[in-house]
């Protein structure tokens, strides 16, 4: 299916949308102030070794120390981490997962550098093949093609990416030369480097898009910034000339994302509820531990057709779920709650539809069948923050709970707090400062309670509206 890639560039933010048949399939956003770290290579310093967790914290110059588990240490040979690392020693590491939430970035000592066709493993003499290349005969032939291009005594290893399957020998040779030259420069910068020091920063989002996402199905790549178009054109001409002809500078009057209806899709991708054409809905909830997606049917169509309605809604939901995972960049553990189906054939058909829809995802996915409770469990590799975490922050009123205490609840909290203050302090008067709905209740429905409390403590109680306060906030001022 033909794709178009749209790149919208502003001075502090780059946004990328991948569209297919006019429908947005993926959204990627990178900001200059919070550029992703995955792929960056550092000389770090071991800050703490934690034998109980078999891990270490490494200072690499970020706000928080990064995390290194013993399993991510090359050639650890089942040794405990305290026998491998000691506090204060320098160590060459690469970021494999961005800082997410309260967790620091995750590191590995197994360095890998991605090119367009190959991933170079300078410390591991191993040749691997992308899992997306499924034909065993094709995999073996591809491995032999690469071996023929490698010099005798090659110490490093390579992983052949999906695009390598259709690449020419000249293209493979060019990618090899580029990766070797890059590793040579990184190695030279590491000599005598005082940690913490950044040795290599991965490509910008727009460059990574050219490197990783342009395939034979990509009709064109539109860039709406002249300066960035010229930079990308120069990058493509040097490292991937076969892509250059598909790169275009968009000069239309309408904003690029408006023209292709991307802005509304961003708004929808931040919504908890997704409407399906059949009338059903998806309800998507992200928590720290997992993401849950609940499928709901629309109006009841009668008992005779209800099974068919459920089946068709679940089939549509399977396609919509796969698209939403890409749009929102949801990762980690994902639990899918399809509408209950009695028929085993219907369940299998929905799972097959989900597998087909997930097949176009560039991120590694594992999918399990239905559990005894009728849920589908899956995982999607998470290396960067989700779209919602990039564009949004927890509500300052509810702190991310999604709900606030009622005005009545806050009134009763205030009455109890006044009683506590009266027992601790001998004030002349107690003044309540709170939001308008709370003050209204204290002067109307709870006026009798306020009067009774004033009589009980023997002191006057006054009230004052503070329009800037959210509903849960209040202060008791001792006058």
Looking at the DSSP bridge assignments, the partners of residue 150 are none
Task: Give per-residue pLDDT as tens, 417-449.
Answer: 999 999 999 999 999 999 999 999 999 999 999
* CA–CA distance, 205 with 390 (Å, rounded to integer): 14
Task: Please compute the mean of the pLDDT values over residues 294-306 and round it to a whole number.
Answer: 69
Q: Is residue 301 very low, low, confident or very high in pLDDT (cuts 50, 70, 90)? A: low
3-state helix, strand, coil in the chain (%, to 5): 35, 25, 35
Give a three-class secondary structure readout of 56-74: EEEECCCCCCEEEEHHHCC
Q: Is a pLDDT exceeding 80 seen at residue 305? A: no
Dihedral sign from CA coordinates of 233, 235, 240, 241: positive
Residue 314 corresponds to which tokens in the numbers above?
């679940």
Residue in the block written with tokens 């928590």: 287
DSSP string, 79-141: --GGGT--TT-EEEEEEEE--BTTBPPEEESS--EE-SSEEEETT---EEE-TT---HHHHHH
Burial of residue 366, with CB atoms counted within 10 A of its CB: 0-12 exposed, 13-18 middle, 19 or more buried: exposed
Q: Is a pLDDT exceeding 50 seen at residue 460? A: yes
* CA–CA distance, 138 with 415 (Å, rounded to integer): 76
Report the range out of 43-52, 237-246, 381-390 with the highest average pLDDT: 43-52
Q: Write down the mean pLDDT value for the chain.
A: 91
Instruction: Output the pLDDT for position 302.
Output: 47
Determine the length of the chain. Answer: 479
* CA–CA distance, 417 with 422 (Å, rounded to integer): 9
Instruction: Output the pLDDT for position 401.
Output: 82
Task: Give per-residue pLDDT as tens, 337-363.
Answer: 999 998 899 999 999 999 999 988 888
Which residues in 75-112 are b (16+ Cβ under 10 Å) and which e?
Answer: ebeeeebeebbeeeebbbbbbbbbbbeeebbbbbbbbb
Higher pLDDT, 78 or 105: 105
Looking at the DSSP bridge assignments, the partners of residue 334 are 291, 378
Q: Is residue 1 very low, low, confident or very high in pLDDT (cuts 50, 70, 90)? A: low
* CA–CA distance, 294 with 5 (Å, rounded to integer): 30
Q: Is a pLDDT exceeding 70 seen at residue 300? A: no
Instruction: Output the pLDDT for position 299.
Output: 61
Q: Is a pLDDT exceeding 70 seen at residue 318? A: yes
Return the SS3 of 198.
strand
Task: Give per-residue pLDDT as tens, 85-122.
Answer: 999 999 999 999 988 777 889 999 999 999 989 999 99
Residue 457 corresponds to which tokens in the numbers above?
């403590």
Evaluate if pTM is beyond 0.85.
no
Rg (CA), the chain: 29
Instruction: Output the pLDDT for position 125.
Output: 85
Let me know: does 239 contact 22? Beta carbons within 8 Å: no
Out of 215-219, 315-319, 376-380, 475-479, which region has the weakest mean confidence (pLDDT)? 215-219
* CA–CA distance, 416 with 163 (Å, rounded to integer): 67
Q: Extract long-range pairs of 28-32: CB within 8 Å, 24+ residues apart.
A: 28/205, 28/209, 28/329, 29/205, 29/387, 29/390, 29/391, 30/204, 30/205, 31/390
Which residue, 329, 300, 326, is CA-closest to 313?
Answer: 300
């Amino acid at each position: 299916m033909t794709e178009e890639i749209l790149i919208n560039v502003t001075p502090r933010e780059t946004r990328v949308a991948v569209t297919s048949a006019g429908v947005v399939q993926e959204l990627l956003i990178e900001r200059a102030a919070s550029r992703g770290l995955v792929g960056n290579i550092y000389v770090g310093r071991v800050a703490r070794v934690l034998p109980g967790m078999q891990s270490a914290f490494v200072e690499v110059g970020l706000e928080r120390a990064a995390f290194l588990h013993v399993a991510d240490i090359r050639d650890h040979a089942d040794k405990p981490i305290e026998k491998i690392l000691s506090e204060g020693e320098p160590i060459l590491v690469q970021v494999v997962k961005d800082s997410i939430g309260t967790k620091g970035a995750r590191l590995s000592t197994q360095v890998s550098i991605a090119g367009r066709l190959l991933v170079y493993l300078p410390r591991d003499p191993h040749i691997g093949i992308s899992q997306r290349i499924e034909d065993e005969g094709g995999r073996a032939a591809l491995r032999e093609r690469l071996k023929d291009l490698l010099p005798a005594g090659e110490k490093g290893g390579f992983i052949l990416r999906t695009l390598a399957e259709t690449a020419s020998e000249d293209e493979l040779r060019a990618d090899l030369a580029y990766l070797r030259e890059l590793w040579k420069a990184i190695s030279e910068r590491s000599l005598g480097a005082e940690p913490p020091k950044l040795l290599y920063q991965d490509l910008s989002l727009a460059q990574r898009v050219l490197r990783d996402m342009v395939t034979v199905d990509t009709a064109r790549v539109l860039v709406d910034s002249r300066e960035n178009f010229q930079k990308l054109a120069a990058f493509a001409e040097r490292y991937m000339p076969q892509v250059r002809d598909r790169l275009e500078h968009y000069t239309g009057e309408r904003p690029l994302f408006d023209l292709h209806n991307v802005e509304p899709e961003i708004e929808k991708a931040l919504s908890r509820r997704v409407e399906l054409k059949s009338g059903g809905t998806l309800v998507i909830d992200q928590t720290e531990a997992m993401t849950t997606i609940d499928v709901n049917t629309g109006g009841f169509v009668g008992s005779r057709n209800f099974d068919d309605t459920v089946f068709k809604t679940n089939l549509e939901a399977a396609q919509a779920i796969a698209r939403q995972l890409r749009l929102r960049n949801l990762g980690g553990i994902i639990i899918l709650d399809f509408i209950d189906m009695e028929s085993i054939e219907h369940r299998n058909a929905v799972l097959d539809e989900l597998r087909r829809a997930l097949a176009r995802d560039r991120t590694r996915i594992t999918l399990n069948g239905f559990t005894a409770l009728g849920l589908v469990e899956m995982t999607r590799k998470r290396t960067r923050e989700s779209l919602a975490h990039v564009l949004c922050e927890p509500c300052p009123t509810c702190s991310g709970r999604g709900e606030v205490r009622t005005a009545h609840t806050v009134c009763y909290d205030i009455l109890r707090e006044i009683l506590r203050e009266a027992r601790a302090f001998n004030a002349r008067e107690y003044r309540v400062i709170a939001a308008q709905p709370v003050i209204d209740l204290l002067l109307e429905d709870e006026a009798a309670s306020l009067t009774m409390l004033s009589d009980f403590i023997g002191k006057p109680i006054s009230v004052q509206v503070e329009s800037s306060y959210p509903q849960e906030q209040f202060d008791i001022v001792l006058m």
